[in-house]
């Protein structure tokens, strides 16, 4: 592959290939209740210290393109419910919108994992998406503590509202490391999401394996979740990230 774009956004400017770091052929956990393959798209401008896909944050991590994904899907017709676009941050690449539309046209449902950092592109891709897993990383006034990038809360707020307004099935998910978020932070996130109309929320306990190791090897347990939060949602899950 030549001429890969570097930096935070692999954007418009002619038809660029979708840069993919890897494809997991079958997964039952990346889209709850569905059998899906997962395409891990390259590129992410944020620097969350718990990131387990940090090797994918560079566009240079790509080893495949959308041509590989579509050829793979041709061989999987009838065997998969859908395709999850994950990453990295899938919406860091403009080509994700076109590829989601093409995957939909092939008859596969499309799931999207996103940090919510690209609301304009999210608005473009939503008509081709059947389910969204949206990261809510911190209380709005503490977002930079997790993303290590300033002013990341505002685009996520807009992304959340876009998904809610579109009526697309969604899960909000919060990864919890005890030195990044306190129980009070978790409670603040839960109450804000519930007030906005989010019905499905998952707390994902930090897992040290696969990270850069910059956080202490500590985690949280179901008993750490403040009382009464699960009841704010139709569906609440505590899971290992």
Dihedral sign, Cα of residue 152, residue 153, residue 158, residue 159 = positive
Sheet strand arrangement including 169-176: 20-27, 36-41, 82-87, 109-114, 131-135, 169-176, 200-205, 235-240
User: Minimum distance between the CB of residue 106 and ligand SF4, rounded to whole angstroms?
Assistant: 26
Q: 188 Cβ partners below 8 Å, 6+ apart? A: 139
On the question of a cis peptide bond just before residue 188, with omega within 30 degrees of 0, the verdict is no
Q: Which is nearer to ligand SF4, 47 or 199 (CB)?
A: 47
Q: Which is nearer to ligand SF4, 73 or 85 (CB)?
A: 85
Using the CB atoms, write b or e for 150-184: b if 16+ within 10 Å. eebbebbbbbbebbbeeebebbbbbbbbbebbeee
Q: Is 138 in the site for ligand SF4 (CB under 6 A)?
A: no
Comparing CA positions, the residue from 193, 196, 182, 190 lying closest to residue 145 is 182
Dihedral sign, Cα of residue 95, residue 102, residue 31, residue 64 = negative
Of residues 54 through 83, those in contact with ligand SF4 by CB under 6 A are 57
User: Minimum distance between the CB of residue 103 and ligand SF4, rounded to whole angstroms?
Assistant: 21
In whole angstroms, give the CA distance from residue 114 to residue 123.
12
Of residues 104 through 123, those in contact with ligand SF4 by CB under 6 A are 115
From candidates 21, 82, 87, 90, binder to ligand SF4 by CB under 6 A:
87
Which region, judged by CB under 6 A, interacts with ligand SF4, from 7-15, 19-27, 87-95, 209-217?
87-95
From candidates 21, 82, 88, 90, binder to ligand SF4 by CB under 6 A:
88
Binding to ligand SF4 by CB under 6 A, coded x per residue (else -) over 34-53, reads ----------x-xxx--x-x
In whole angstroms, give the CA distance from residue 49 to residue 110.
28
User: Minimum distance between the CB of residue 64 and ligand SF4, rounded to whole angstroms?
Assistant: 18
Q: Which is nearer to ligand SF4, 40 or 108 (CB)?
A: 40
Q: What residue has token string 């997964």?
A: 27
Which region, judged by CB under 6 A, interacts with ligand SF4, from 30-38, 84-92, 193-201, 224-232?
84-92
Q: Which is nearer to ligand SF4, 46 or 233 (CB)?
A: 46
By the criterion CB under 6 A, which residues form the site for ligand SF4? 44, 46-48, 51, 53, 57, 87-89, 115
């Amino acid at each position: 592959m030549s001429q890969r774009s570097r930096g935070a956004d692999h954007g418009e400017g002619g038809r660029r290939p979708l840069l993919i770091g890897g494809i997991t052929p079958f997964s039952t956990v990346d889209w709850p209740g569905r059998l899906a393959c997962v395409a891990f798209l390259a590129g992410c401008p944020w620097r969350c210290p718990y990131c387990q896909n940090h090797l994918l944050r560079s566009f240079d991590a790509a080893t495949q393109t959308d041509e590989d994904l579509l050829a793979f899907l041709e061989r999987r017709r009838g065997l998969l419910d859908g395709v999850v676009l994950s990453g990295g941050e899938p919406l860091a690449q403009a080509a994700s919108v076109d590829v989601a539309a093409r995957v939909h046209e092939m008859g596969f449902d499309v799931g999207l994992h996103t940090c919510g950092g690209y609301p304009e592109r999210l608005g473009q891709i939503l008509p081709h998406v059947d389910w969204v897993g949206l990261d809510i990383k911190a209380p709005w006034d503490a977002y930079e503590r997790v993303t290590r990038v300033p002013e990341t809360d505002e685009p996520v707020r807009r992304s959340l509202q876009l998904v809610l307004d579109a009526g697309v099935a969604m899960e909000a998910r919060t990864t919890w490391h005890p030195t990044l978020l306190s129980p009070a932070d978790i409670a603040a996130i839960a109450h804000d999401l519930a007030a906005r109309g989010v019905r499905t929320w998952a707390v994902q306990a930090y897992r040290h394996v696969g990270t850069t190791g910059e956080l202490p090897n500590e985690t949280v347990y179901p008993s750490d979740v403040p009382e009464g939060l699960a009841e704010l949602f139709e569906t609440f899950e505590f899971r290992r990230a």
